Amino acid sequence: MRILGIDPGLGRMGWGVIEEEKAVIKPIGYDCIETPAKTPDEKRLLLIYKELTRVIEEYQPEVMAIEELFFSRNVSTAFMVGQARGVALLVAAQAGIEVITYAPSAVKLAVSGYGSADKKQIGQMVKAILKLKVLPKLDDTTDALAVAITHGFSGKLAKKLK
Q: Among residues of the chain, what percentage have pLDDT more than 90?
A: 79
List pLDDT tens digits, range 44-64. 999 999 999 999 999 999 999
- Asked whether the predicted pLDDT for residue 72 surpasses 70, the reply is no
> Strand 2-7's sheet: what is its strand order?
24-34, 12-21, 2-7, 63-67, 98-102
Q: What is the pLDDT of residue 162?
A: 41
- Mean pLDDT (the chain) is 91
Q: What is the pLDDT of residue 71?
A: 63
For domain 2-161, give the fold.
Nucleotidyltransferase; domain 5 (3.30.420)
Integer Cα distance of 139 and 160 in angstroms: 32
Q: Phi and psi at residue 132, in whole multiples of 5°?
A: -80, 145
Classify the phi-psi angles of 113: left when phi > 0, otherwise alpha if psi is within -120 to 50, otherwise beta: left
Q: Phi and psi at residue 53, in whole multiples of 5°?
A: -60, -45
Extents of the domains making up the chain: 2-161
Q: Which positions are annotated as active-site residues? A: 7, 67, 140
